Amino acid sequence: MQGPQSYTVSEFISVVKEILETGLSIVQVEGEVSNLSFSTSGHVYFSLVDDDSLVSAVMFKSDFLRNPLARQMKDGSKVCVTGSVNVYSKRGTFQIVVRQLALKGQGDLKEKFELLKKKLATEGLFNLDTKKKIPFFPRKVALITAPNGAAVRDFINIYARRGVFIKILVVPVLVQGEKAPVSIMKGLDLVLKYNRANEQDQCDVVVLARGGGSLEDLWAFNDEALAYKLFSYPIPTVSAIGHDVDFVLTDYVADLRAETPSAAAENLTQHQVEILQRLSQLKRRLRDRMMLGLNANQSQLETLHPRKLIQYFWQFLNSYRRRLETCNLVYRGRELMGLSDFSLRLEEAVEMLKGAMTTVIHAHGAKLDQLNGILEATSPQKVLERGYCLAKFQSKHVILSVSDFDKLDTNATLSLVFHDGEGLVTKT
């Protein structure tokens, strides 16, 4: 018996692609629109869902522009699409390429949401006067969410950055699927049980948190039983589900609605941030005032220091001493009564000094003339005038002895310097 045919992954996907795209060249599918998004290129991406399944779909820009009803499509719309099946080989996934689209009325989930919302509003579950006040400075927060989701990370990160002396109790629950509402309600019961067992460390507020998603992804928070339980819950509650455009029934029933889990963390820590900022301002003002006071006291102490006082009194006494010396008649007497005598004596001394200086100058002049005569008599020029001459070699080196002369080469040219000029001779 022959075994099954073996394929590589690429070969297998190619076979499936050929079967689907050839066998389902034109299909018509009804379902509810979910995860609707518009790309910058003009293409429209969405999912078609029913109670049990989901399939991806795309409507390219040209087909979207040819179908006016497609502009009315939104999450929750019931539609019937006509198109072909396309297989994406790299991922092994398929989607419906929509050519035509017809609206079939409002989606079942959206309709259920509106009906349940109207019912709960009529029963007073959304009344503002029944809302409990969120604690101004919560000491401990119970966070009911998926333990590994982005919501719990964002919430804890913001609390760690902004919160002061606040504890977080994470209660892990399911946040999507049929079992999620029961899991969330069990999480609420666990918080009450925890508070009864820890009277000194109770949770002051409870936060329901989940990241964004489609209407069916968030449907667990539209559960009627969960809404009633949240309405009668004794602890203040915050609903932080999805993004700012997402609304679920817990947003209306809870005591406070936050656009996102991060916004819930910021809201609960806002008063603490304001208190920290106020304390920081008061700290700066107190430090500035203390420095001003210290500087003023230091200046006053330096002014009143004994050393400063002694210096001041010494300056005061010296000032009066100088004034007394100025008024002393003994010293002023010489100045006032003997001034003319001193003037005469000074003039005589000046004349005597002039005479002495003249005598000294004449004596030094005669000595200088004598030395000048001696210098001229011993001058080399005078010696040459008496019949002597100098012998130089190459006009530089003076021949001082016979040995110097013997060292010269034969036919060397010598320069003889006389008092009135030079002459050349040759050694033979």
Identify which has the larger pLDDT, 275 or 96: 96
Whether residue 278 is predicted with pLDDT greater than 90 in this model: the reply is: no
> How much is the pLDDT for 244?
74
Q: In what order do the strands lie in the sheet with 413-418?
A: 397-398, 390-393, 413-418, 421-426
Least confident of 45-49, 325-329, 415-419: 325-329
CA atoms lying within 13 Å on the CB side of residue 102: 7
Residue-wise pLDDT for 155-172, tens only, equals 888 877 776 677 889 999
In Å, how far from its chain's centre is CA 21? Answer: 55
Closest CA to 167 of 196, 136, 190, 137: 137
Residue-wise pLDDT for 231-276, tens only, equals 999 999 999 898 877 789 999 999 999 888 888 888 888 877 667 7
Whether residue 3 is predicted with pLDDT greater than 70 in this model: the reply is: no
> How much is the pLDDT for 329?
57
The CATH topology of domain 9-106 is OB fold (Dihydrolipoamide Acetyltransferase, E2P) (2.40.50)
Residue boundaries of the structural domains of the chain: 9-106, 126-273, 382-426
The CATH topology of domain 126-273 is Rossmann fold (3.40.50)
> How much is the pLDDT for 328?
62
How far is residue 406's CA from residue 391's CA, in Å, rounded to a whole number?
A: 13
pTM comes to 0.47
> How much is the pLDDT for 106?
47
Whether residue 380 is predicted with pLDDT greater than 80 in this model: the reply is: no
